[in-house]
Structure 1
Amino acid sequence: MSKPFPFSAIVAQEDMKKALLMAAVEPLLGGVLIFGDRGTGKSTAVRALAELLPKIETRAGCRFNCEPGRPQDACPVCHAPNAPKAPKVIKTRTPMVDLPLGATEDRICGALDLEKALVAGEKDFEPGLLASANRGFLYIDEVNLLEDHLVDLLLDAAASGVNVVEREGLSIRHAARFALVGSGNPEEGDLRPQLLDRFGLAVDVRTIDDLKQRIEVIRRRDAFEADTDGFCESWARKDAAIRNRVVKARKILRDVDIPDDVLTRMSQLCMGLGIDGMRGELTLMRACRASAALGGRLEVSWNDVSEISPLVLCHRLRRDPLDDAGSAPRVERAIAAVGADAVHG
């Protein structure tokens, strides 16, 4: 299997990299949606992130990525009451599962193992992609072309952290804690507003228009293809630094405090923008906490809110046909207004 391009070697695209790192730190964010031009490094960044994350512990032969100390009832390997000895604990790469556009609901959620049922007459569960992605990432390229009911199913599982399968006489529940990442080209169609809202973060990626950065992209890609091992080795230290940041951020995440005045301004911001429901504020709170943790800080500041809000709120705005500027300037104006009111108040 070929090595992915190093995460730290990706040129520019800072919003995309920041969003992916926050999703790696805080799984409750609900995933990342990356929309943009072809060839802008969307899938490269996702696969690079999964490679640099620390390995997870599970048991040999486990297909549900169970934590060794918390075996799941659905897993015949980790939860085997009559087994003389549990399989040994191993370390494996953080799962990075690609979901093909033609995948069926059975392939995603899991279903009855037909071969075992027909040959041995036993009713057994065949895990799906959600089980494989547990404790890792589930990546959907061209997510705007995936059938709506499958996207609903994935987002529900990502939000709850549990996959429930009840069909063909089976009743199975297993953990499905993963970061959902979707990418697509807006020329091929938009996602429904209801689905857009379920993604925690959304990033618009554009082709780099800075000449020096474009040249650097070409040089790094050429060097990677000419000597993959050597190129990855030259960026290994920087990737390790990012890995350490993510590990430390995970450890302190639940200790990060959000002052009452910052939380109040978050709600004022969402109210001023007319954001429907409470998901915007909850996601903004979680994202700002993840951002502060990545910075090694134990308190969220208004600067965190100002930086992160476009990633959280732009895709939740109602479309205004009279506003040609787009959603990002609307969010920026609202941030400035709330910040000014806080100063004068």
Structure 2
Amino acid sequence: MNLLPIRAHRPRTPARLLLASLAGVLLLGVSGCAGSGEERPSVVVTTNILGDITRNVVGDEAEVTVLMQADADPHSFGISAPQAASLEQADLVVYNGLGLEENVLRHVRAAQEAGVSTLAVGEAVDPITYTAGESADEPDPHFWTDPERVRKAVGLIADEVTAHVRGVDTSTVRRNASAYEAQVTELTAWMRARFDEIPPGRRQLVTNHHVFGYLAQRFRFHIVGAVIPSGTTLASPSASDLKSLADAVRTAGVKAIFADSSQPARLAQVIERESGIDVDVVPLFSESLTTKGKGAATYLEMMRANTTSIAIGLGTA
């Protein structure tokens, strides 16, 4: 009698059980990715001008959150409770300082007290003081109107990011900073060439408030005065202030008054009427970037637009 070999039968895994196991593995993988995404390093920046500069330095190495919206006023913008909380959860907070972000500085101080690393850029780029008006002898926070100080700021931001933001690739941040510094250096040369076309006697600025001191120092302009004789847009001119400026405009023979594009030009138009001479009111992007397509979506675009407007306004085209 032939006996067939007896074989042990292995229990089979039901197909639905196998699929459930695979699904579990996939879910673990997805949740693991989500967890690592939540831990991405964070840099919070107060103003949108500094935000654009910082993003060029950081690149994709960390999440950069900018608190100030486009076309806002850095002297008066506020932030929400979640935004305030984001400051204390950041690896690094980059802010202007020198009193610029008047409604946000207390939140920056709270982040400092919570142990967050912070960088006051304006205080570290050789700030100047106002020379006239209500803010005379106080530090001027508007350093970004001088591209050479912005170039210095790029290096400072890169130093702080590599020192305090966990997990970033140092070499990538340094390459980003170097590339952006080259663009800012090119901007400085272009601005100087454009301004050199303006005869020295016409290099006279009248603005809504004192905002172009750094630009005047770098490119040899004379500031005749400001409609609001202060470093902040929150101040208001008196009747005597307006008369004094109108007299100065008339004496200097100023051809244009430059008003911030985010602020009404009404006061500049009052000066035009009071001075009794033909003066153009020219909008500039002095305190804030705009949304994309509105003329000043980046720092480099803003400075080129302002340079062109100043050159045309003072009679080179």
TM-score using structure 1 length: 0.26
Instruction: Tell which has more relative contact order, 1 or 2 (C-alpha 8 A, sep 6+).
Output: 1
